[in-house]
Structure formats: structure tokens, C-alpha cells
Amino acid sequence: MDVNQYLEIFLDETKEHLQNLNTRILELEQDAENMDTINEIFRAAHSLKGMAGTMGYKRMQNLTHDMENVFSEVRNGTIKVQPEMIDILFKCLDALEEYTDNIQNNADEGTNDNAPIIKQLNDIINSKNSGGAAPAAAPAEEKKEEKEEATSTSKWYDIALDNHQITVLEEAKKEGKKIYGINVLIQESCLLKAARAFLVFKAIEEKGEIIVSDPSAQDVEDEKFDRDFTLIVVSDANFDDIKKVISNVSEIEAVTGEDLVLEKTKNYQPGDAAPAVVAAQTSEKKAAAPAAKTEKKQAPGKPIVNRTVRVDIEKLDSLMNLVSELIIAKNSLVATSTQNESGNSSAFNEQVEYLETVTTNLHESVMKVRMVPIESVVNKFPRMIRDLAKNLDKKMELYMSGEETELDRTVVDEIGDPLMHLLRNAADHGLEASEVRVQRGKPEVGSIFLDAYQDGNNVVIEVRDDGNGIDVNAVRAKIIERNLVSEEQAQALSDKEVIDYLFHPGFSTAKKITDVSGRGVGLDVVRSKIESLSGEVEVKSKLGEGSTWTIRLPLTLAIIQSLMVIIGGEKYAISLGSIQTIEDIAPSEVKKVENKEVINLRGSVIPLIRLNEILDIESKNASDDNLIVVIVKKGDQMAGLVVDELIGQQEIVIKSLGKYIKQPKFISGATILGDGEIALILDANALM
């Protein structure tokens, strides 16, 4: 079989399974007896093994096989989950991840056999006699039952038939048709079980009629079944014919079946039974059916999968571009309709307004399509914190909230590394050693919080710890030691300015370099990454009580609300997000401090930035005119941007200036206005 076409699906699914395993094994560490978790792990390991085997990755298959064996024993209750076992399992997952990475990069799993891990896994199995078997006796039985069920040759008698179905079957029998119970088992290696099942259904329908399917046809179509499904079929043909057409479908392992004896089926009541009996029976059936269903779902079940479609991000991008075009076209329509107000009928204006609503909604929907929950990024962190806790020999716990918060796909892909840096930082620098914590009267186990939530047009992600906080004086000493500024200057720096130095490249205050952090790379990377996503990062800290790192990201990167201004006859856009107020300032109110222009606005001194000077253009305003000052804010910092004229607020589509131009930092892109002209977008953050 040519497996290359499946490689992408394989990689996607493997990653999903590995993530699932990571999460479950963490759960298992907390609650070693949870049968649901154990079953889930077993299933994931089993799926992984099957997939790796099909794709011909033998080493990966071997490793998962041994892992599955361990869980098989755990499930049977012959081994108990031990802390050491969890460690080995995690090592195992890391090895599997390595295989996956290799496959992704070189289309080959690599040559590492991971023999030590396999040996450890086998040791666990061999040590099973030492484990207590008592608490797990029941699950073991459960498993046996399941096995029996799987090998049962007359599964069709387990199907609960309803009245209608029984009537249909009886009718068919009267007409001299045959009724068959059929069980179809699909090969373990089959990748597209639902498609195979569909072909089986189609094949049977050529010969007869499917009355009942278990699991239901819908579930089969959604691949909510393990490897086999059972059908009750009415047909004129004899059984061998039907068996033949089913077997013609490829990747079918076995077809079993026989003539169905109606009286032997579950719930069978003759069709002419008294109404009272029917009523009783239906109610009984109703009670039985859901029970049977839930049972089914748990046994071979995969987690319930949302009905989703995987879409190439490029297709979404092109869709997004088209929507952007539409918004530009709409803006120009609006522009023309307002320009020659008198000549337009009210019907035209109505339609323009309608168009505006539709484009706005369309834009929102497309943006939503591109949004993914940050869950995919953050759910690897519990495992990371667990490993850090072991490495650093500190006790800590990660609490996460708001994993369902959604962000643009492009942002989510980039946010993982900065968050990882901050969490490592919190674990290593933030939290004190357990003994110190106890001395200080804090709980021995340190807490790290990762909270995400939406705040207006921003998404805020906070990393918080209840550790030591930032020792401002230690940082200040470090600044002096590094000769970054003179001692006098350093003493004059505010706490905030001192903390800001943490974001400088190559600045680390950790006393010793550990594997985890202390190399001074990290925080500067965090800041530059976040800023490249048009976001910002802040830190608040209280010595002895902990620190909070706040990342603020825009919801979308492609379309923003902006204020259009004119500077020296040229149009520019400023993102509305950073604008606080717009002020009318008389030239006499402009003061000079240290040779820089400032204004005093309601008690706070704000530096002025003459945009025409930065943009190398002559202002069209006379020097004694009042100044139009746009007050912008970045964190706690404020600045006043002097512009010539205001045009108004507008929704703009951000476009890149093209790869050829290396634009200055304060220009974040360009946008196309309603009249087809281009306006550049000023990044207020970069101006400050």
C-alpha cells in the first residue's frame, strides 16, 4: 500500500493521540485507580500501534506495543500504577514524539530502538506478581466480557429491536424473504473504516434491505465504532451471495452471519400482542435502549468527535483576502454615496447599509473560522510543569483557566514559545525551594496560574506565580554590575524601569545557570515575539508575594478599527486600540523639559511627538495654529502625536508593504482606502 498519501493524516492523528496520552497519564498520576483514564490510555496506545504498524514504522510500533502491554496488565488489575511507572511512560511518550518528529522531518522514524525504555516496560510487566490485584478484579471481568462479546458469533441477537422493526421483519418473513444476522469485522490496519463500512452497506443494499444496524448507520458513518458492526438484513438472496459481495469490499477481515431466528432476538414480542403488553414492552425497551447505547459508547468508543472539516490555512487566507477586497469595495461605495448625497435615492442608501451589515457579518464569520482555542498550545504545559518540578526538585502545581479562549490561528501557532518561557521562568526563578516556602509560612507546594480571557478586542494571557517576586534591588545591582548604566543613574531608575531591564537581551539574574533557565535568553525573546504579533507584555511583581506576567494580544491581525489622520497632506491610519483621547492644544501650552516638547494634560506630563518630523514631511499647519494631539498609550506610558488634520474612524484592512521594502519600524503596514489610494498604518507603540 502506498502510505505517503496518508502521512499527513498519520502525523496529525499521532500528535493528537500523544497529546491525549500526555494528559491522561498526568491524570493517572493523580488518580491511579481511574478505570476510565486507564481505558482511554489503552485505546490511544492501541490506535497508535495500529497506525504506526500500517505506516510501516516498526520501531514505533514495537514501543507502543510494549506500552500497550503494560496498560493491558493495568487494565486487568495485575499491575498497579506506580510513580516510577509514570516516569517510564513519560519517557516512552518523549521517545514516540521523537519518532514523530523524525517522520515529519525526514519521512523516516530514525534508528533509535529505545531499547532501555522497552526493557523498563517489560520489567514492569514481569513484576506484576508484586502488584495487588484485589481492587481491580471487577474491571478484569469487564474486559473478559468485552472479549467474549468481540468473539461472539451471534451478536445480532444482542440488538434491541423496536416494534416497528419487528413488524417489518415479520412482514418480510411472511413474504418468504430471508432474514440474516450479519457481523462484519474490518481489518485492524484499515485507515478509513467508515468508508469501508459505507461500501459494505452499499453492497448489501444491492442484494437486500438493511433493517437494523448496530452501531446505528449514523454512528458507523462517523466512525464511532471499533472494528466491527452488526446488521440485520432482509433479502431474497441466499447468505453465501451476500457474504460474497461483502467480502469483495477490500480491507474486510471477516464476515459472519446466519439465518436470524426472530423469536430469539432481544425484546421479541409477536406483532399481534395485546396493546398493554406493547406499551409495557416499549417502555421497557426505552429504558433498555439508552442503557445499551451508553454501554456501547464507552466500550469500543472513541471520544465523541465534533463534526469538523480540516481546511488548509492557505484556503482560509485567500478567503480572508477576498473578504478584505469586499470591505474595500464596500468602503468605496459608502464613500461615493456620501459624496453625492443629493443624487441618490433612499433605496440606494438602504442597499448600501445592507451591504455594510452583510460584509461586517461575513468578516466576523471568516475571522471566527480562523479562530482556534489556545487549548492546543497550553495543554502541553501540565506535563512540562510536572517535569520541571522533578528537575528542579520543587513542589509546584499548574492551574489553568480559559483554555477555550480563541485567538487567530496564526497567533496561536506563535504564542507557545513565549508562554513556555514565562512558565519556565516562573517555575525556576519565581517559586522558591520548598523549604524556603515553609519557612516563609507559604504552602509548601508552589502555585503557577495560567489564565486566559478576552478583554474587548484583546485577548489577555496571564502567567502568575505565588513565588518570591522580582527583587528590584538585585536587578538594580545587576544593572550596575553589567555597566549598563552608571550607579547614580541606576539608583534614579524607577522600579518599573528596573524591571524593564529584564527584557534586555542577555540579562539574567539567576545565581546559577540551570537546564531550565538563567541563560538570559528568554525574556527578550518573549518580548520581541509578542511585539511581532502586535501584542505587548507587562510584568507586575511584589517581593515575597509573586509576579504576574500579562500578555495582551489583538484578537485579529488582519482588520482593525483605526483613526485616519492627515499629516503634511498625506493620509495615515493609527490603530484605535492604542488611542486614549484627542486633544486640542494651544501652542503656548507646549513646554520644554530637557529640550523635549511636553504638554501637561490634566496633571500628567506627556511628551509630544511631531509626526511630520518623523515622517520627513512639511506640516501644512501654521506654527501658531492650535495643535491636534492624539494621545496614545502603551502600558503605563503615554505620548501625544501631533497631526495636521483628523479624517475620522474607519475599519481598515492591513496589508503588507511587500517583501521588497524594508519599512521603518513605526510603519506596521498599509491599507487601501475607499478611493483606491493607499494609506500607511502608523504603529504608535513603535513611536514611543
356 has catalytic annotation? no
Near another protein by CB under 8 A: residue from 617, 638, 687, 688: 617
Stretch that binds another protein, among 89-97, 135-143, 182-190, 614-622 (CB under 8 A): 614-622
352 class by beta-carbon count within 10 Å (0-12 exposed, 13-18 middle, 19+ buried): middle
CA distances from 388 to 360, 444, 524 (A): 46, 16, 22
Q: Is 688 in the site for another protein (CB under 8 A)?
A: no
Is 249 or 328 the residue whose CB approaches another protein more closely? 328
Residue by residue, DSSP assigns 304-334 as PPP------HHHHHHHHHHHHHHHHHHHHHH
- Nine cell digits for residue 682: 502608523
Stretch that binds another protein, among 141-149, 157-165, 357-365, 672-680 (CB under 8 A): 672-680
Of the residues 29, 39, 40, 68, which is catalytic? 68
Is 373 or 568 the residue whose CB approaches another protein more closely? 568
Minimum distance from CB of 673 to another protein (Å)? 9
Stretch that binds another protein, among 24-32, 304-312, 530-538, 654-662 (CB under 8 A): 654-662
Near another protein by CB under 8 A: residue from 616, 622, 623, 648: 616
Q: Is 677 in the site for another protein (CB under 8 A)?
A: yes
Beta strands 570-575 and 678-682, pairing class: parallel
Near another protein by CB under 8 A: residue from 443, 444, 664, 686: 664
Stretch that binds another protein, among 259-267, 324-332, 348-356, 380-388 (CB under 8 A): 324-332
Q: Is 328 in the site for another protein (CB under 8 A)?
A: yes
In angstroms, the CA 2 to CA 4 distance is 6
Stretch that binds another protein, among 204-212, 319-327, 446-454, 636-644 (CB under 8 A): 319-327
Near another protein by CB under 8 A: residue from 159, 184, 670, 684: 670
Is 368 or 659 the residue whose CB approaches another protein more closely? 659
Contact assessment for residue 252 and residue 228, using Cβ atoms and an 8 Å cutoff: no
Residue by residue, DSSP assigns 365-388 as HHHHHHEEETHHHHTTHHHHHHHH
Q: Is 614 in the site for another protein (CB under 8 A)?
A: yes
In angstroms, the CA 29 to CA 110 distance is 30
Of the residues 17, 46, 363, 429, which is catalytic? 46
Is 329 or 474 the residue whose CB approaches another protein more closely? 329
46 has catalytic annotation? yes
Q: Is the peptide bond before 215 cis (omega within 30 degrees of 0)?
A: yes
Q: Is 657 in the site for another protein (CB under 8 A)?
A: yes
Of the residues 22, 183, 425, 468, which is catalytic? 425
Q: What is the DSSP letter of 523?
A: H
Q: Is 324 in the site for another protein (CB under 8 A)?
A: yes
Q: Which residues contact 82 (CB under 8 A, 6 or more apart)?
A: none
Contact assessment for residue 127 and residue 156, using Cβ atoms and an 8 Å cutoff: no
Stretch that binds another protein, among 56-64, 467-475, 527-535, 662-670 (CB under 8 A): 662-670
What angle separates helix 409-425 from helix 381-392, to the nearest 10 degrees?
20
In angstroms, the CA 184 to CA 246 distance is 8
In angstroms, the CA 527 to CA 537 distance is 6
Q: Which residues contact 183 (CB under 8 A, 6 or more apart)?
A: 153, 155, 156, 228, 229, 230, 231, 255, 256, 257
Q: Is 325 in the site for another protein (CB under 8 A)?
A: yes
Site for another protein in 34-63 (CB under 8 A): none
Q: Is 615 in the site for another protein (CB under 8 A)?
A: yes
Minimum distance from CB of 670 to another protein (Å)? 5
Is 108 or 325 the residue whose CB approaches another protein more closely? 325
Strands of 536-542's sheet in order across: 396-401, 446-455, 458-465, 546-554, 536-542
Helix (H, G, I), strand (E, B) or coil at 607: strand
Q: Which residues contact 224 (CB under 8 A, 6 or more apart)?
A: 215, 297, 301, 302, 304, 305
Q: Is 681 in the site for another protein (CB under 8 A)?
A: no
Dihedral, 174, 180, 181, 184 alpha carbons, nearest 10: -150
Q: Is 238 in the site for another protein (CB under 8 A)?
A: no
Minimum distance from CB of 496 to another protein (Å)? 30
Binding mask 275-314 for another protein (x = CB under 8 A): ----------------------------------------
Q: Is 331 in the site for another protein (CB under 8 A)?
A: no
Minimum distance from CB of 672 to another protein (Å)? 5
Site for another protein in 554-583 (CB under 8 A): 570
546 class by beta-carbon count within 10 Å (0-12 exposed, 13-18 middle, 19+ buried): buried
- The residue among 371, 365, 353 whose CA lies nearest residue 323 is 365
Let me know how long the chain is: 688
Helix (H, G, I), strand (E, B) or coil at 64: helix
40 class by beta-carbon count within 10 Å (0-12 exposed, 13-18 middle, 19+ buried): buried
Q: Is 656 in the site for another protein (CB under 8 A)?
A: yes
- Nine cell digits for residue 662: 524594508
Determine the Cα angle at 23 with ends 18 and 25, to 5°: 90
In angstroms, the CA 475 to CA 480 distance is 9
Beta strands 604-610 and 637-643, pairing class: parallel
Is 172 or 327 the residue whose CB approaches another protein more closely? 327
Stretch that binds another protein, among 203-211, 342-350, 375-383, 666-674 (CB under 8 A): 666-674
Stretch that binds another protein, among 45-53, 297-305, 381-389, 665-673 (CB under 8 A): 665-673
Q: Is 189 in the site for another protein (CB under 8 A)?
A: no
In angstroms, the CA 415 to CA 517 distance is 19
Near another protein by CB under 8 A: residue from 210, 362, 655, 688: 655
- Nine cell digits for residue 219: 454512528
Residue by residue, DSSP assigns 388-417 as HHHHHT--EEEEEE-TT-EEEHHHHHHHHH
Q: Is 460 in the site for another protein (CB under 8 A)?
A: no
Minimum distance from CB of 367 to another protein (Å)? 19
Contact assessment for residue 248 and residue 221, using Cβ atoms and an 8 Å cutoff: no
Q: Is 663 in the site for another protein (CB under 8 A)?
A: yes
429 has catalytic annotation? no
Is 39 or 668 the residue whose CB approaches another protein more closely? 668
Q: Is 676 in the site for another protein (CB under 8 A)?
A: yes
Binding mask 137-176 for another protein (x = CB under 8 A): ----------------------------------------
Is 36 or 613 the residue whose CB approaches another protein more closely? 613
Is 15 or 655 the residue whose CB approaches another protein more closely? 655
Minimum distance from CB of 320 to another protein (Å)? 12
Stretch that binds another protein, among 70-78, 524-532, 625-633, 651-659 (CB under 8 A): 651-659
Minimum distance from CB of 623 to another protein (Å)? 21
Is 590 or 647 the residue whose CB approaches another protein more closely? 647
Q: For binding to another protein (CB under 8 A), which residues are involved?
A: 321, 324-325, 328, 570, 614-617, 655-664, 667, 670, 672, 676-680
- Residues annotated as part of the active site: 46, 68, 425
